[in-house]
Amino acid sequence: MAELLLELLSEEIPARMQARAADDLKRLVGDGLKAAGLEFKDASAFATPRRLTLVVDGLPTARADVSEERRGPRVGAPDQAVQGFLKATGLASLDQAEKRDTGKGEFWFAVIRKKGGPTAEALPGIIDAAMKALPWPKSMRWGSGTMTWVRPLQSIVALFDGKVLAGEIAPGGQMAPIKFGDTTRGHRFLSNGPIKVAGFADYTAKLRAAHVMLDPAERKQVVFEGAERLCTEAQVALKADEGLLDEVAGLVEWPVPMLGTIDAQFMGVPPEVLIVSMKTHQRYFVTTDRSGALANRFVVVANNVARDGGKTIVDGNERVLRSRLSDAKFFWDQDRKQRLAERLPALKDIVFHAKLGTQAERVQRITQLASQIATSVPGADISQVEQAALLCKADLVTGMVGEFPELQGIMGRYYALEEKISAAVADAIGDHYAPAGPNDRCPSAPVSIAVALADKLDALVSFWSIGEKPTGSRDPYALRRAALGVIRIIVENNIRLPLKKFFSADDLMAFFADRLKVQMREKGVRHDVVDAVFALGGEDDLVRLLARVEAVQSFLGTEAGKNLLTAYGRAANIVRAEEKKDKTLASRIAGAPDAALLQQIEEKNVAAALAEVERLVTPALQREDFAAAMQAFAGLRGPIDAFFEKVTVNVAEKPDLRLNRLKLLNQIRATMDSVADFSRIEG
């Protein structure tokens, strides 16, 4: 058993691509090995900013010749089948195949002989194929070459059983081939010259000595633990950030966390501004103090062990942050000199969309919508809603948002608070883009709800009006997210808002319905129940719709519910079967059965039970007490069961009796369908 070690050294690989590339390399080489009949025990892949490394354990050093038989199509089968067979087996023509009688007819058979031999001879081809197939999200050419890789490829270590594999990768053009070898390089700044390796254990040990931690998991751990230690010493708390941790681990081969300090003059700038500068632009970890507020320390992870212990690096990073933050502070100070309301005219210069006018026009629409919506939001003060809506986009023309677009809304809130606008209005300005995704916080304050809904409904209605509807793959204006936002705000806050008040397009309502279905499916609601409620049509109050869905689903979970569903199915089946035979039947069995024609006690009982159900259900539906409505249905079960046991519906000799009984069954169906279309429920 032997080990394969492969290292592809290149110029710096983007952090976001490393993990995926390591997995792909492992998969592609693994598949290649298996296809060549080379079984192995284990494979692991690693990535650093400069290398992809794969180690495969437990490979045989040689393969025996193997021959494999494959049955093809029947002799005389159509050409298409024959061609498929030839292609799959790699035969040139049927001359190379054998005819054999299997007892079930004559078939073509291919005997594929795979030559064995030393594994080392098969590996270069497998490596080459895997490299060609590796799907980098973006790749490039370099020099005079034609080969593509994520960044220029520099060297390849390819060792099998401790020996260099005979092989090379040709970048093309005038460039020298990159020969498989046994030497690599260590850290770009902390190591010098080539490093000769004998196998994976030797490789990792020598890399470590050359200041390269191969395993990203280890680098993450070193970053995290080092950062925690620094924070503990400084009596601050590290703000955990898994995404940033992954990214930082992909930017360094030898992580050295260091603690920096934010200049005191910037601590008065809103924390979100500091966080964007530190986290997004500088990849620093932020820290908090005991109260959970942003602390004045940050953690930067260097890729170097500096000879002055990192003093220069920390100084430099503090300096960069200072200059970034003084830019931000400059905007913070400048922006506060102008009131948000004074900025509104400038929104006339910002085009929202060529066909939908400027941001000023959009604000006008949002304001109008918001005040309409506010009447449906308990506790929403109309004048506050109007003020918030009017100002919600004003921060787009501030210097800060110009520089940090991701702070839109957030800055508007701060500027509003600075000019002593009420907190409810300021919060609504800050909240009105929310929720930005399924995990984002959903606005819950009344004024915020009204403005956030108006913002999204305006986008949906406006883009719909110019025919910019999302398609399967394209949703450039994020209208799906807007619709999901509307749904979440309405549902989570129990807002009774008939959506049809704001638009008439049926396909927009259907769009909402689809989003709602997706959302409910994710929450584990049965899709057939959702369909059954949606099938009623005409419902544009999402809260009521969901209450109905919930009641139906929980009723169906009870014994009574299941039995009643069976009874409903029987009644519906009989009616449907009869309707099929007689096209005029449907119109004749509409309406209540004739009491005079009810003969058997079981019939009368069903009619009585239906009357009782209706007496209970109608007001329950009016009060939207769907649970009570479903409970009322439970009383139907006994009479209906008895009916099916004792009563014959299709009494051919008495057509009026038959018709009346069908009416009775139809009424069962109609009564139940007033809550949901039970025919859509899957038993």
Contacts with other proteins by CB under 8 A lie at 11-12, 14-16, 49, 138-145, 150-152, 154, 173-175, 188-189, 251-252, 282, 284, 300, 302-304, 306-308, 312-313, 315-317, 319-323, 326-327, 330, 349-351, 354
Beta carbon of residue 283, minimum distance to other proteins (angstroms, whole number): 8
Q: How far apart are CA 125 and CA 133, in angstroms?
A: 12
Beta carbon of residue 176, minimum distance to other proteins (angstroms, whole number): 8
Q: How far apart are CA 357 and CA 349, in angstroms?
A: 10
- Nearer CB in complex with other proteins: 189/209: 189
Residue 6 in contact with residue 46, Cβ under 8 Å? Answer: no
- Nearer CB in complex with other proteins: 109/142: 142
Compute CA distances 615 → 576, 611, 622, 632, 666, whole Å: 26, 6, 12, 9, 18
- Nearer CB in complex with other proteins: 12/540: 12
Beta carbon of residue 312, minimum distance to other proteins (angstroms, whole number): 4
Question: How many Cα atoms sit within 13 Å of 15 on the Cβ side?
Answer: 15
- Nearer CB in complex with other proteins: 277/667: 277
- Nearer CB in complex with other proteins: 326/338: 326
Beta carbon of residue 351, minimum distance to other proteins (angstroms, whole number): 4
What are the φ/ψ torsions at residue 370 (nearest 5 degrees)?
A: -60, -40
Strands across the sheet containing 98-101: 66-74, 106-114, 98-101
- Nearer CB in complex with other proteins: 139/650: 139
- Nearer CB in complex with other proteins: 132/348: 348
Beta carbon of residue 22, minimum distance to other proteins (angstroms, whole number): 17
What six digits make up the tokens of 399? 């210097």
Chain-centre distance of CA 205, in angstroms? 40
Beta carbon of residue 303, minimum distance to other proteins (angstroms, whole number): 6
CB atoms within 10 A of CB 14: 16
- Nearer CB in complex with other proteins: 229/319: 319
- Nearer CB in complex with other proteins: 320/628: 320
Which SS3 state, helix, strand or coil, does residue 351 take? strand
DSSP 140: B
Closest CA to 252 of 84, 66, 13, 600: 13
- Nearer CB in complex with other proteins: 202/403: 403
Beta carbon of residue 203, minimum distance to other proteins (angstroms, whole number): 23
Q: How far apart are CA 112 and CA 124, in angstroms?
A: 22
Compute CA distances 195 → 191, 203, 355, 450, whole Å: 9, 9, 62, 65
- Nearer CB in complex with other proteins: 178/574: 178
Beta carbon of residue 395, minimum distance to other proteins (angstroms, whole number): 18
- Nearer CB in complex with other proteins: 13/483: 13
Question: What long-range pairs does 483-487 form, CB within 8 A, spacing at least 24?
Answer: 483/456, 483/511, 483/512, 483/515, 484/435, 484/438, 484/515, 484/519, 485/434, 485/435, 485/436, 485/442, 485/452, 485/456, 486/453, 486/456, 486/457, 486/460, 486/512, 487/512, 487/515, 487/516, 487/519, 487/542
Q: How far apart are CA 680 and CA 531, in angstroms?
A: 7
- Our CA angle for 99, 100, 105, nearest 5°, is 110
- The kind and range of the H/E element at 420 are none
What residues contact residue 522 under an 8 Å CB cut-off, 6+ apart? none
DSSP 188: T
Residue 297 in contact with residue 259, Cβ under 8 Å? Answer: yes
Beta carbon of residue 534, minimum distance to other proteins (angstroms, whole number): 38
Beta carbon of residue 126, minimum distance to other proteins (angstroms, whole number): 26
- Nearer CB in complex with other proteins: 342/349: 349
Beta carbon of residue 261, minimum distance to other proteins (angstroms, whole number): 14
Beta carbon of residue 339, minimum distance to other proteins (angstroms, whole number): 21
Beta carbon of residue 19, minimum distance to other proteins (angstroms, whole number): 14
What six digits make up the tokens of 405? 């677009």
Q: How far apart are CA 461 and CA 504, in angstroms?
A: 9
Beta carbon of residue 241, minimum distance to other proteins (angstroms, whole number): 17
What are the φ/ψ torsions at residue 60 (nearest 5 degrees)?
A: -70, 150
Beta carbon of residue 156, minimum distance to other proteins (angstroms, whole number): 14
Beta carbon of residue 231, minimum distance to other proteins (angstroms, whole number): 19
Q: How far apart are CA 104 and CA 639, in angstroms?
A: 59
Q: How far apart are CA 415 and CA 387, in angstroms?
A: 14
Q: What share of residues in the chain are helix, strand, coil (percent, to 5)?
A: 55, 15, 35
Closest CA to 34 of 101, 130, 176, 112: 130
- Nearer CB in complex with other proteins: 170/505: 170
- Nearer CB in complex with other proteins: 304/666: 304
Beta carbon of residue 286, minimum distance to other proteins (angstroms, whole number): 14
- Nearer CB in complex with other proteins: 337/581: 337
Q: How far apart are CA 658 and CA 664, in angstroms?
A: 10
- Nearer CB in complex with other proteins: 181/430: 181
- The kind and range of the H/E element at 285 are strand 285-288
What six digits make up the tokens of 622? 């009016």
